Amino acid sequence: MALSNANNGATNVAARLQKELMDIMTNPTPGITAFPSSENLTIWTATIEGPSGTPYEALVFKLSFEFPATYPYSPPNVLFKTPIYHPNVDFSGRICLDILKDKWSAVYNIGTVLLSLQSLLGEPNNSSPLNGEAAELWDNDMLEYKRKVAARHKTPEELDAA
Amino acid sequence: MDHATLVFASVFPVPSLSHTTPTPVATPDLGHTAPGTSFGSPFVGNSGGELHHAARRNVAWSTATRFLGLPKDVNHTGLRMRKTRDIDEALSYLLVGTGKNAESARTEEGLVGWYTNEVRLHFAKYVRPSLQELWAKEIPLSATWDTLEETQRILDRAQSFYRQPFDEHIMPFLHQDASNITIRASMDEDTIDTGIVDGAKSRFQLDMHAAFSHSLPSNRFSKTLGHVLYDAGCRLFRFHIRLDGVQHIYAPESADEVRDRIAALLVDLQRVGLGGDMAQRAFGHSMNKLVDTFIGSHYLKVDWFAKECVVPEMRNWVENGFRPLAELVLDCLQCESTKVESTQLKEWQEMAMSRLGRARVANLFDFIIHWDRSLGAILDLKEYLKLEGAKEFLKTSFSRQVSMRLLHQGATTTYILNVYISIIRAFHTLEPKGVLLQSVARPIRKYLKDREDTARIIIASLLIDVDDENERNLPSNGELCYEIASEMAKPFAHTDTTDDEFNWNDLNWQPLPHDASPEYKKSKVEDVIYFLLTLWDRDSFINELKNILGAHLLRCQDPEFQKEIRLLELIKIRLGEEKLQACEVMLRDVLESRRINDAIRSAAETSAQREQMLQTPRTPRSKSLRSRRQSSVPISSQPPPGPALNAQILSSFFWPVLRDDDFHVPAEISALQKDYESRFERIKGMRKLHWMNALGESRITLELEDRTEEFEHLAPWQVSVIHAFQPQSDEQTTTAPISRTIDQLEEMLEMDDALVKQAVAFWVGKSVLRETSNSTFIVVENLSSTDNPVDSDAAAVAKELAEVQAAQTSTVKSQADLLDEKKDVYMSFIVGMLTNQGNMGVGRILMMMRMMVQGGFPFAEEEVKVLLAQLEESEKVVSLGGDIWSIKK
């Protein structure tokens, strides 16, 4: 019966994250997983599979989540760890997605963020691209776009080896 | 210069004549010629007076020294040179007359000095070798007395040998000389006289003793003497366990003998100059050891029988045993103060106390284990704690003992609890204010908190009845702590609510010890149970309490639930009423159930149901457990009496998760259940019942061809299975016994395969069923006809199996059930972990599971491996060899 009775913010975040983890594990969504690191419960790694029917089909992407002490009232900091060629993601993996910025709300959680990101892969927001070239190719040259996606992508094993 | 001298000197050039050799005036030499006189023989020149004087002195010197010279043999007792007048004169001249004056003024070596030197040389040459021989080899402990006594004898002989000439021939002249001075100074004769003479004498003695003591290896001598003193002490006080390991089979010697012997030895040693600092040091060491020996002796053994404190005895010994001995020795060694002051005595007593205390502290853990036979030791320690620094020592030492001997994986939780209870009791005696207890118990409490089964054991123990300790229904698996149970059985003294600190009439009031923290507040309730209940914070403890109380209430035989009510009241006092609502509801449920049962039964009686008493639980939202009596009569001429049903109605919201296997109960029972249900709904309005068949308890009578057997405390599934061997309504009644296979039973009863097998094994064990072929069973109608050894063997095996299985089946969900239930979640944890965090070993996975799974992961590596193996089967993960697992690509 190990008990914790500390009541600071960090504990609340930890409790919330533990609950989210439990939810994800109890009702897993196909193609999406996430798990905290063993050292720090507020740093997670997530894996999403590219949706079928998109240039990202059959590709696997790793992301990192970093939860602030004010989570869920502030959004987590989410980055693509796997290099990705996408209009709304820059080369360091930063993501331009409204719900991770000003549209964040405490009702979102890891699962919904991951689902949003998965759908962003198939439906980029080309009106405000971080990667202008990608936005252009998406609209005009899907073949070249796919080639660039494939060229940029690395599997998790390649990432580990690097 | 008298004639005789002159003649003598001219013929015998004695060495002392060389003293007359002229030397410069400034040199204080033995003799000289006056300035201005020529060097030459004593017979030359005009300084006749001087020369005469010097020559005369030389002659006297020669005569005296030859006379005083010592013979080789110390034991020589024969006549020395006869003392002639010449000698007398010479001595007188040198010691009293002018010769003496000249000498003392100008020479380093007077006659006394010469004699001292002579003694030294003689001693070195003739006596010392024998001493060295004596001391050259190592002295065995048993020979210490003899060696010392022999040494003393040798020295004593030498001393008297040396002293005799001094006393006889030198002393009288010294006296004479002294009295001359006295007269001249016209002072108090005696004082001066003796003062001067004694001065000379004691100087001589001192020099001699110095020679003696330097001839001995001083370290070894004082060790030997120390041992002798120690030995004497041990014999005097009859200590049998000694620090030096010597095992004396004491001849019944009287203490007086020993005392006289040691006193004599000491006096003698003192006389030959071997007392003094060296001996005093040796004495100090030996007394030190003696105290230690006494502490370890049988006199101060822990009093296991009378359970009394031995401290008074110790003080008494220090005062009346140790002190007289010390005084005796001091006296023999002629120390300045031979009286031991009372302050010093106190110091000694304290010193002994602190040693005794340390000795007790070293074994404190054992005393705790053997509480309360060790009460005596604890009382000793209580005395010890009054000393400065004792508390700290006790705390650190005991903490070390506890962490080494108690708080490790090898100790069962029950054991730790038992020891903890002993600690509580012992320390309560040691320091009633509880400050000490608080600090020593902290690590234990912390450790107990981390053990998973602590709460379960405590609560389960609270609920058992010590009175039926010997009865079969107590699991003997070490899961219960009888200490707690017996503590619980004690009458609960209602603590008065007045604050002790404000009870002005309390004449036994004591201030808190100085090491209490300012906030320290002694808990008002101080019995053992209080300490156990406060191990956790309330919520988690109450959760655990709910689980255990739930299981217990369902099993409980006492229709009044007296113990349970009492327990709950006790806990309410300690933990506060508001938190225990769920438990109260549970208790009320079972009590209420009885009432409802009565009501329903009396209503049912009118419908001519025969009643039997048994019980069942269930809840408004619905759960129930029932038991019934049933006659299962495969072939019987009499109509079976109708079964009866009692229910327990549980409010499911408040109860812990209970076992809820689904299966069919015999038709008679389900009819009863329906009937009960409808009556219940009539009483309780809208509430629905949900029957929990797995939890019931039943009593049945089986009427077989050759016997009738009654069974009690049966689980419902057992009854269902045996009932299934009765011809069912849609079956033809045949004369042949009905046989059923496991599969058939499973299908008929819609019962879990494991339960069916368990029930069948139970009945086979009771020789009611028999396996005819693989997985097919028939009823044993006739015990005698089937009386073959194979059967009884099979029955015995099955019985054993059934017992083991029964032990594993409990009303609360078992570990395996839990694992099975949550398998999917756990598996997705493992998959998620391996997907996102890379490859991992089993140990790491287990650690992560324990950390991450909400509600905890109460399993070990074994279970993780099982999960991994299943995942591997479904091709989700692969083993990378060793313990490392990876996600399947």
Summarize pLDDT for B629-679 with one digit per residue, the tens: 333 322 223 334 566 777 777 777 777 777 667 777 777 778 888 888 887
pLDDT digits (tens, 9 = 90+) for B298-349: 777 777 777 888 888 888 888 888 888 888 888 877 766 667 778 888 888 8
| Rounded to 5°, angle at Cα B553 from B550 and B558 | 170
CB-based contact, A160 to chain B, within 8 Å: yes
- Cα separation, B111 vs B103, whole angstroms: 9
For residue B628, the model assigns a pLDDT of 34
d(CA B524, CA B503): 13
B848 touches chain A (CB under 8 A): yes
pLDDT for the residue B804: 64
Chain A, nearest residue to B826 by Cα: A25
pLDDT of B198-228, one tens digit each? 777 777 888 888 888 787 887 888 888 888 8
Task: Tell me phi and psi for residue B179, to 5 degrees.
Answer: -70, -30
Instruction: State whether residue A33 sits within 8 Å of chain B by CB.
Output: yes
C-alpha B634/C-alpha B702 separation (Å) is 9
The reply to whether B839 touches chain A by the CB within 8 Å rule is no
The reported pLDDT for the residue numbered B323 is 84
How far is it, in rounded angstroms, from Cα B133 to Cα B348? Answer: 40
Q: Is the dihedral of CA B347, B350, B352, B354 positive or negative?
A: negative
Shortest CA gap A161–chain B (Å): 12
Per-residue pLDDT reduced to its tens digit, B829-860: 888 888 888 888 888 888 888 888 877 777 77
Q: Residue A86: which of A60, A120, A110, A116 has the closest Cα? A: A120
Q: Report the DSSP beta bridge partners of residue B779.
A: B769
CB B328 within 8 A of CB B260: no
Strands B698-703 and B624-632, how do they pair?
Answer: parallel
Instruction: Name residues whose C-beta falls within 8 Å of residue B382's C-beta, 6 or more positions apart in sequence.
Output: B309, B429, B430, B431
Query: Shortest CB distance from A37 goes to which of B452, B455, B837?
Result: B837
Query: Of B136-140, B434-438, B673-677, B799-803, where does mean pLDDT reach its minimum?
Result: B799-803
Residue type, B531: F
The Cα–Cα gap between A58 and B492 comes to 71
- pTM (whole model) above 0.80: no
CA distance B421 to B753: 45
Q: Has residue B281 got a pLDDT over 60?
A: yes
By Cβ distance, the residue of A1, A18, A37 closest to B540 is A1
Residues of B within 8 A of A22 (CB-CB) are 825, 853-854
pLDDT of residue B451: 79
Does A26 contact B at CB distance below 8 Å?
A: yes
Residue of B456, B538, B835 to mutate, testing the A interface (most A Cβ within 10 Å of its Cβ): B835
Most confident listed range (B104-118, B245-259, B485-499, B678-692): B678-692
Residue B13 sits at the chain A interface (C-beta within 8 Å)? no
Cα separation, B226 vs B293, in Å, equals 14
Which comes out higher in pLDDT, residue B52 or B536? B536
| Nearest-10 crossing angle of helices B413-430, B482-489 | 50
pLDDT at B25: 37
Question: Distance between CA B506 and CA A97 in Å, rounded?
Answer: 75
Name the average pLDDT for chain B.
72
Phi/psi of residue B808, each to 5°? Answer: -85, -15
Contacts of B177 (CB under 8 A, 6+ apart): B95, B96, B100, B196
Residues of A annotated as catalytic (active site), given as ranges: 96
Best CA proximity match to B868, nearest among B880, B856, B858: B880
Q: Does A3 touch chain B (CB under 8 A)?
A: yes
Per CB-CB distance under 8 Å, the chain A contacts of B854 are 18-19, 21-22
Which 8-state DSSP code applies to residue A94? B
Orientation angle between helical segments B454-463 and B562-575, nearest 10 degrees: 130
- Spatial distance between the Cα atoms of B489 and B486, rounded to a whole number of angstroms: 5
**Least-confidence region, from A75-89, B91-105, B167-181, B608-622:** B608-622
Q: Is A63 helix (H, G, I), strand (E, B) or coil?
A: strand
Residues of A in contact with B831 (CB under 8 A): 33
Instruction: Provide the edge-to-edge strand list for the sheet that holds B884-887.
Output: B840-841, B884-887, B877-879
Across the interface, of A2, A28, A62, the residue whose CB is closest to B828 is: A28
Residue B245 has pLDDT above 70, yes or no: no
Taking the Cβ of residue B844 and every Cβ of chain A, the question of whether any pair is shorter than 8 Å is answered with: yes
pLDDT of residue B884: 86
Q: Are B786 and B780 in contact (CB under 8 A)?
A: yes
Left if phi > 0, otherwise alpha if psi is -120 to 50, otherwise beta: which for B767?
A: left
**What residues contact B473, with CB distance under 8 A and at least 6 apart?**
none
Token digits for B75?
């034991």
Report the first-to-last Cα separation within chain B, whole angstroms. Answer: 133
Cβ–Cβ below 8 Å for A45 and B455: no
What pLDDT, on a 0 to 100 scale, did the predictor assign at position B20? Answer: 39
Question: Token pair 């905890």 is at which residue?
Answer: B856
Residues of B in contact with A18 (CB under 8 A): 852, 854
Q: Which A positions 46-105 lie with beta carbon below 8 A of chain B? A: 46-47, 62
User: pLDDT value at position B83?
Assistant: 64
Cβ-in-10-Å burial (0-12, 13-18, 19+) of B212 comes to: buried
* Distance between CA atoms of residues A117 and A61, nearest Å: 11
The backbone torsions φ and ψ at residue B144, rounded to the nearest 5 degrees and listed phi first, read -60, -45
Q: Work out the widest C-alpha separation in chain A, in whole angstroms.
A: 62
Q: Do B832 and A24 touch (CB under 8 A)?
A: yes
**Mutation target among B854, B857, B886 for the A interface, most CBs of A within 10 A:** B854
| B880 and chain A in contact, CB less than 8 A | no
Cβ distance B444 to B407 under 8 Å?
A: yes
pLDDT for A7 equals 44
Taking CB atoms and an 8 Å limit, are A21 and B835 in contact across chains?
Answer: no
Over residues B687-695, the mean pLDDT reads 75
Quick one: how far is CA B318 from the chain centroid?
26
Whether residue B540 lies within 8 A of chain A, CB to CB, comes out as: yes
Contacts of A47 in chain B (CB under 8 A): 835-836
Q: Which A residues, 34 through 53, put their C-beta within 8 Å of a C-beta on chain B?
A: 34-38, 41, 44-47
Nearest alpha carbon to residue B689 among B679, B675, B674, B677: B677
Q: Is A24 near chain B, with CB under 8 Å? A: yes
Please list, in sequence order, all residues whose beta carbon lies within 8 angstroms of the beta carbon of residue A21, skipping any fewer than 6 positions away.
A34, A35, A36, B852, B854
Inform me whether the C-beta atom of residue A159 falls under 8 Å from chain B C-beta atoms.
no
Residue B832 near residue B872 (C-beta atoms within 8 A): no
pLDDT for the residue B44: 45
The minimal CB distance from B540 to the residues A3, A34, A35 is found for: A3
Question: How would you classify the pairing of strands B739-741 and B776-779?
Answer: antiparallel
State which amino acid sits at residue B305. Answer: F
Contact yes or no for B436/B395 (Cβ under 8 A): yes
Are A5 and B848 within 8 A, CB to CB?
no
CB contact (8 A) between residue A21 and residue B825:
no
In angstroms, how far is CA B868 from the centroid of its own chain?
A: 46
- Is the separation of the CB atoms in B679 and B596 below 8 Å? no
Which of the residue ranges A69-83, B51-65, B734-748 would you say has the lowest mean pLDDT? B51-65
Domain total in chain A: 1
In terms of residue numbers, what domain contains A61?
A: 2-161
The helix or strand, by DSSP H or E, that contains position B703, with its residue range, turns out to be strand B698-703
B852 and chain A in contact, CB less than 8 A: yes
> Do residues B327 and B339 make contact, with C-beta atoms less than 8 angstroms apart?
yes
Q: How many CB pairs under 8 A join A and B?
A: 63
The angle formed by the CA atoms of residues A16, A18 and A22, to the nearest 5 degrees, is 115
Strands (E) across chain A are located at 32-36, 43-49, 60-66, 77-80
Among A5-9, B722-726, B815-819, the least confident range: A5-9
**B400 vs B2 pLDDT, higher one:** B400
DSSP B276-344: HHHHHHHHHHHHHHHHHHHHHSGGGS--SSS----HHHHHHHIIIIIHHHHHHHHHHTT-S--SPPHHH
Q: What is the 3-state secondary structure (H, E, C) of B360-409?
A: HHHCHHHHHHCCCCCHHHHHHHHHHCCCCCHHHHHHHHHHHHHHHHCCCC
Is B852 in contact with A26 (Cβ distance < 8 A)?
no
- What's the CA gap between B616 and B627, in Å, rounded? 6
Pull the structure tokens for residue B542. 């109450």
Q: Is ipTM over 0.90?
A: no
Q: Which of B719, B724, B730 is nearest to B742 (CA)?
A: B724
Q: For strand A60-66 and strand A43-49, is the pairing parallel, antiparallel, or unpaired?
A: antiparallel
Exposed e or buried b for every residue in B350-378, given b needs 16+ CB within 10 A?
Answer: bebbbbbbebbbeebbebbbbbeebbbbb
Query: Which one of B449, B456, B852 would you mutate to disrupt binding with A, by most A Cβ within 10 Å of its Cβ?
Result: B852
B833 contacts chain A (CB < 8 A):
yes
Phi, psi (rounded to 5 degrees) for B624: -155, 155
Looking at chain B, the whole-number percentage of residues with pLDDT higher than 90 is 0
Q: What per-residue confidence (pLDDT) applies to B471? A: 46
Residue B828 in contact with partner chain A when CB distance is under 8 A: yes
pLDDT tens for chain A, residues 1 to 162: 333 333 455 677 888 888 888 888 888 888 899 999 888 888 999 999 988 888 888 889 999 999 998 888 899 999 999 999 999 998 888 998 888 988 898 889 899 999 999 999 888 888 888 888 888 888 888 889 999 898 888 887 777 765
The verdict on a CB contact (< 8 Å) between B832 and A2 is no
Kindly report the CATH number assigned to the domain that includes residue A121.
3.10.110.10
Partner-chain contact A47 B541, CB within 8 Å = no
| Residue in chain B nearest A37 by alpha carbon | B837
In sequence order, what are the residues at sequence separation of 6 or more whose Cβ sits closer than 8 angstroms to the Cβ of residue B472?
Answer: none
Distance CA A83, CA A105 (A): 28
- Name which of A3, A19, A38 is nearest B837 (Cβ-Cβ): A38
Cβ pair B837:A45 closer than 8 A? yes
Say yes or no to pLDDT of B696 above 70.
yes
Residue B186: partners with Cβ closer than 8 Å, 6 or more residues away:
none
Q: Which of B426, B417, B582, B416 is nearest to B485 (CA)?
A: B417
**pLDDT computed for residue A77 by the predictor:** 93
Q: Which residue of B has its CA nearest to A17?
A: B852
Amino acid B877: pLDDT: 86
- More confident of the two residues B602 and B193: B602
Q: Is 70 exceeded by the pLDDT of residue B419?
A: yes
Question: A35 and B832: CB-CB below 8 Å?
Answer: yes
